[in-house]
């Protein structure tokens, strides 16, 4: 075994051990890398146009993003808070309506007898409610801590990425440095393309969903469209999850309306997935849908919700690493751009 092969196998073994012992750590690190790439994508053009250092451009973009989020939150806080309160009141009634409709049918009555209605529709005892509240509080605090960690790591990586990239390159044998550098550059380009496409998809999906729900007369259309837009960060699965509250609320209006809501969601995702996002991402991060779905199932089973959320960018990164490191590097297949 050569030194180059040994260096790759040692690093691969360490990475697998890290995923086995502390799977959240590399996933949170990868989320920080995505944030750093997004900040650099805005900071570098600003630095070139103004002549300021790249690190200062990144900090300016970070401050502008925080201010924009704060202003948007302040402007939308009143309507969205009221709609969120109303959604919390209406969802239990929607569940109760669904249970009653199921009980009126033969197959629905059978389904209700097979499951625990209290757990299914949130009608548990005081102990269950207390346990659920404690679990939710613990998860919220853990999520906030992880968010702060990702933001801090992302800022450090975005402000001065050269040292971290150089350190990563030095973990490989010297004769692999050229290919490692090419792989890192292509991976960064691919992930930036994916981020651009997803940001575009989230905005478009939110607007189109809001228009569709408004035309259908679904209550709380703005909040429901916001949920769909945020969950659109998770391709394929996320929008379908976001459709559930909208369908439940539509059920309180008309038994047929949920099917129209589902049709709107599917139509929006078809437009976004088949036309708009590929147009933005082009060849940078055009992921095969079957591969993406398999990766989401696999990462969800191994790492939970965080794995599902990061499945798409992980797939994009994996395709680059496999192509550059294994297909072209190890197997020596010279792939041209048309075959990628």
The answer to whether residue 69 sits within a structural domain is yes
The answer to whether residue 174 sits within a structural domain is no
User: Does the pLDDT value for residue 266 go beyond 80?
Assistant: yes
Distances (CA, A) of 304 to 65, 113, 242, 244: 29, 29, 18, 20
The answer to whether residue 326 sits within a structural domain is yes
**pLDDT grade for 28, boundaries at 50, 70 and 90:** very high
Structure confidence at residue 333 (pLDDT): 76
Higher pLDDT, 280 or 5: 5
User: Does the pLDDT value for residue 132 go beyond 60?
Assistant: no
User: Does the pLDDT value for residue 130 go beyond 50?
Assistant: no
Window from 81-95, 122-136, 218-232 with minimum mean pLDDT: 122-136
Higher pLDDT, 290 or 92: 290
Structure confidence at residue 73 (pLDDT): 66
**pLDDT grade for 104, boundaries at 50, 70 and 90:** low
Find out whether 158 and 63 touch, Cβ atoms under 8 Å: no
Structure confidence at residue 238 (pLDDT): 84
**Percent of the residues in the chain that have a pLDDT greater than 70, as a whole number:** 74
Q: What are the structure tokens assigned to 309, written together?
A: 């959320």
Find out whether 251 and 258 touch, Cβ atoms under 8 Å: yes
The answer to whether residue 144 sits within a structural domain is no
The answer to whether residue 122 sits within a structural domain is no
Predicted TM-score (pTM) of this structure: 0.75
The answer to whether residue 138 sits within a structural domain is no
Structure confidence at residue 133 (pLDDT): 45
Find out whether 123 and 117 touch, Cβ atoms under 8 Å: yes
The answer to whether residue 39 sits within a structural domain is yes
Distances (CA, A) of 74 to 69, 79, 80, 229: 8, 10, 10, 19
Structure confidence at residue 181 (pLDDT): 92
Structure confidence at residue 155 (pLDDT): 92
**Per-residue pLDDT tens over the stretch 227-262:** 888 888 887 788 888 888 888 888 777 778 888 999
| Domains: count for the chain | 1
**Per-residue pLDDT tens over the stretch 280-314:** 665 556 677 778 888 888 988 888 888 888 988 99
Q: Which residue range forms the structural domain that includes residue 291?
A: 23-114+179-335
Window from 44-58, 207-221, 273-287 with minimum mean pLDDT: 273-287
Which are the contacts of 215, defined by CB distance < 8 A and separation ≥ 6? none
Find out whether 299 and 307 touch, Cβ atoms under 8 Å: yes
Which are the contacts of 57, defined by CB distance < 8 A and separation ≥ 6? 42, 43, 44, 45, 46, 47, 50
**pLDDT grade for 36, boundaries at 50, 70 and 90:** very high
User: What does the H/E/C string look like for the chain?
Assistant: CCHHHHHHHHHHHHHHHHHHHCCHHHHHHHHHHHHHHHHHHHHHHHHHHHCCCHHHHHHHHHHHHHHHHHHHHHHHHHHHHHHHHHHHHHHHHHHHHHHHHHHCCHHHHHHHHHCCHHHHCCCCCHHHHHHHHHHHHHHHHHHHHHHHHHHHHHHHHHHCHHHHHHHHHCCCCHHHHHHHHHHHHHHHHHHHHHHHHHHHHHHHHHHHHHHHHHHHCCCCHHHHHHHHHHHCCCCCHHHHHHHHHHHHHHHHHCCCHHHHHHHHHHHHHHHHHHHHHHHHHCCCCCCCHHHHHHHHHHHHHHHCHHHHHCHHHHHHHHHHHHHHHHHHHHCCCCCCHHHC
Structure confidence at residue 208 (pLDDT): 92
The answer to whether residue 158 sits within a structural domain is no
User: Does the pLDDT value for residue 80 go beyond 90?
Assistant: no
Structure confidence at residue 122 (pLDDT): 47
Structure confidence at residue 126 (pLDDT): 45
Query: Taking the chain, what is the end-to-end CA distance rounded to the nearest angstrom?
Result: 30
């Amino acid at each position: 075994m050569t030194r180059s092969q040994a260096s790759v196998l040692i690093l691969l073994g360490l990475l697998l051990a890290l995923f086995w012992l502390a799977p959240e750590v590399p996933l949170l690190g990868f989320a920080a890398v995505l944030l750093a790439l997004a900040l650099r994508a805005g900071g570098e053009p600003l630095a070139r146009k103004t002549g300021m250092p790249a690190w200062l451009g990144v900090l300016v973009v970070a401050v502008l993003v925080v201010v924009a989020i704060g202003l948007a939150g302040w402007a939308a806080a009143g309507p969205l808070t009221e709609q969120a309160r109303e959604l919390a009141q209406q969802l239990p009634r929607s569940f109760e309506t669904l249970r009653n409709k199921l009980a009126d049918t033969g197959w629905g009555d059978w389904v209700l007898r097979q499951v625990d209605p209290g757990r299914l529709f949130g009608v548990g005892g005081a102990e269950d409610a207390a346990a659920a509240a404690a679990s939710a509080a613990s998860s919220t605090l853990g999520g906030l801590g992880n968010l702060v960690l990702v933001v801090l790591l992302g800022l450090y990586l975005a402000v001065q990425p050269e040292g971290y990239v150089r350190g990563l390159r030095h973990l490989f044998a010297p004769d692999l440095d050229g290919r490692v550098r090419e792989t890192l550059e292509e991976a960064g380009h691919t992930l930036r393309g994916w981020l651009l496409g997803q940001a575009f998809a989230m905005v478009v999906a939110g607007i189109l969903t809001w228009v569709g729900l408004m035309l259908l007369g679904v209550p709380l259309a703005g909040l429901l469209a916001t949920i769909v837009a945020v969950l659109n960060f998770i391709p394929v699965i996320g929008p379908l999850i976001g459709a559930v509250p909208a369908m439940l609320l539509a059920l309180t209006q008309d038994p047929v309306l949920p099917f129209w809501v589902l049709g709107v969601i599917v139509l929006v995702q078809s437009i976004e997935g088949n036309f708009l996002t590929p147009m933005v991402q082009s060849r940078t991060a055009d992921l095969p849908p079957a591969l993406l779905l398999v990766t989401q199932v696999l990462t969800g089973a191994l790492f939970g919700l965080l794995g599902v959320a990061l499945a798409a960018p992980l797939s994009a990164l994996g395709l680059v690493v496999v192509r550059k490191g294994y297909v072209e590097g190890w197997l020596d297949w010279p792939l041209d751009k048309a075959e990628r």
